[in-house]
Amino acid sequence: EAGVVQSPRYKIIEKKQPVAFWCNPISGHNTLYWYRQNLGQGPELLIRYENEEAVDDSQLPKDRFSAERLKGVDSTLKIQPAELGDSAVYLCASSLGRTTPEQYFGPGTRLTVT
Partner 1 sequence: AQTVTQSQPEMSVQEAETVTLSCTYDTSESDYYLFWYKQPPSRQMILVIRQEAYKQQNATENRFSVNFQKAAKSFSLKISDSQLGDAAMYFCAYRSAGNFGNEKLTFGTGTRLTIIP
Nearer residue to partner 1 within complex by CB, 63 or 102: 102
- Quote the CA–CA distance of 59 and 90 in Å, as a whole number: 14
- Quote the CA–CA distance of 86 and 75 in Å, as a whole number: 19
- The one-character DSSP state at 81 is S
For position 33 contacting partner 1 by CB under 8 A, the verdict is: yes
For position 41 contacting partner 1 by CB under 8 A, the verdict is: yes
- Quote the CA–CA distance of 92 and 74 in Å, as a whole number: 10
Among 1, 2, 53, 101, binds partner 1 (CB under 8 A): 101
51: Cβ contacts below 8 Å, ≥ 6 apart: 30, 69, 72
Identity of the residue numbered 58: S
Stretch that binds partner 1, among 16-24, 40-48, 68-76, 80-88 (CB under 8 A): 40-48
What are the two backbone dihedrals, phi and then psi, of residue 7, each rounded to the nearest 5 degrees? -150, 150
Nearer residue to partner 1 within complex by CB, 6 or 79: 6
Binding mask 61-90 for partner 1 (x = CB under 8 A): ----------------------------x-
What residues make contact with partner 1 under the rule CB under 8 A? 31, 33, 35, 40-45, 48, 55-56, 89, 91, 93, 98, 101-108, 110
